[in-house]
Structure 1
Amino acid sequence: MTTTSRPYAADPASATVRGSHRSAPAMVAPVLAFVATVVAANVLTAVFGLVPVGFGLTATAGTAAAGVTLLARDWVHDVAGGPAVLVCIAAGALLSAGLAGPRLALASATAFAVSELADLAVYQPLRRRGLVRAVLASNAVGAPLDTIVFLTLAGLPVWAALPGQLWVKALTTAIPVAVVWTARAVLRHRLRPGGS
């Protein structure tokens, strides 16, 4: 298993995979991003409920933050491993219980835990073959599971909100992945002999 000092190395073959040992400072940013986006998703949903997201669809107000949370979860996996993800889920739930209410906190923690199991099955095996493929595949599985479990336990209309939730989560996943993919392509081109 190869380790690197960056969570997403330019060379996928040298990228860190789950369970690698990292220094505590390297774990701070992904852990804070994960917990903060969990709490933001729950607080926004508690305050604003369902909101229009275009194309006649609705989603919970925290859906965009929840989409970013799925990316942050993968980042935590890379730098700290699966147990750290579970600690982040618990921390996010505790903070959310105080800020957004116990029902949303329980729904969120359960949904993230269920999607985490799917992530373990999908992201980990694919991570060695590249970040973009692993993130897209794990989120394609994790996002619907997370959404259905969350909406059901939170007492929100599942089938009315599901299409909008999936649309926003797909968008909040695709944009950062496209940025990373583009940056890597540019970096590879510049590092290649004869590149400009």
Structure 2
Amino acid sequence: MPLLILAMVLVVASANYLVQFPVNDWLTWGALTYPVSYFVTDLTNRRFGPAAARKVVYIGFALAVLASIWLASPRIAMASGTAFLVSQLMDVAIFNRLRRRAWWQPPLFSSVIGSAVDTALFFALAFWGTAMPWVTLAIGDYGVKVAIALALLVPWCVVARRG
């Protein structure tokens, strides 16, 4: 489980740094890395259960916020921490509730819903009242997060078939 915690910290810290750099008016670089955090949470939940997944979320949250304070602005760190904690705990609950459904439903639905909550909270808290075109960035980021959640079903299928 230490590798899952490390993976979570690296994913979130890099996303918090990269979200400050828009690719264009509707996408930031952070959108390309952050969806992997749901994959890490879901892998933990599948292998070790919801209590362990929450532990990875809490430890990942604490360490990622510390790293984010160093890598990003305090406002980004606060917005990220809030959005991360709420959306990841929601992901854990949704995944666990759907655990016995078809192999693709728990990771996809929990990631898509968690990403929606994360995107809305993060962009509103991080960029409200700034010159950043945060609404279009949020829409673009969410679209990329959903696309990546769909793409991550390929490795998830491999994991699910291994048992």
TM-score, with structure 1 as normaliser: 0.70
1:192 counterpart residue number: none
Give the number of aligned pairs. 155
Q: What is the aligned-residue RMSD (CA, Å)?
A: 2.2
1:114 counterpart residue number: 86
Unaligned runs of 5+ in 1: 1-26, 189-196
* Secondary structure, aligned partner of 2:33: helix
Instruction: Please say which of residues 59-68 and 35-44 is displaced more in the overlay.
Output: 59-68
Alignment pair present for 1:94 and 2:66: yes
2:7 counterpart residue number: 33
CA distance in 1, matches of 2:76, 2:152: 26
Q: Which has the higher helix share?
A: 2
CA distance in 2, matches of 1:183, 1:39: 25
1:105 counterpart residue number: 77
* Secondary structure, aligned partner of 2:101: coil
Unaligned runs of 5+ in 2: none
Between the two proteins, what is the percent identity of the paired residues?
Answer: 32
Larger Rg: 1
1:167 counterpart residue number: 143
Aligned 1:1-196 pairs, distance under 5 A = 27-46=1-20, 48=21, 50-52=22-24, 58-78=26-46, 79=48, 80-155=52-127, 156-181=132-157
CA distance in 2, matches of 1:183, 1:121: 20
* Secondary structure, aligned partner of 2:23: strand
- 1:149 maps to a residue whose letter is L
1:4 counterpart residue number: none
CA distance in 1, matches of 2:99, 2:159: 18
Residue 169 of structure 1: how far off its partner (Å): 0.5
TM-score, with structure 2 as normaliser: 0.83
Q: Which has the higher contact order (CA 8 A, sep 6+)?
A: 2
1:27-60 deviation line (CA, Å, top 9, x unaligned): 02211111100001011123x2x213xxxx6122
Residue 102 of structure 1: how far off its partner (Å): 1.5
Given that 1:147 and 1:162 are in contact with CA atoms closer than 8 Å, whether structure 2 keeps it comes out as yes
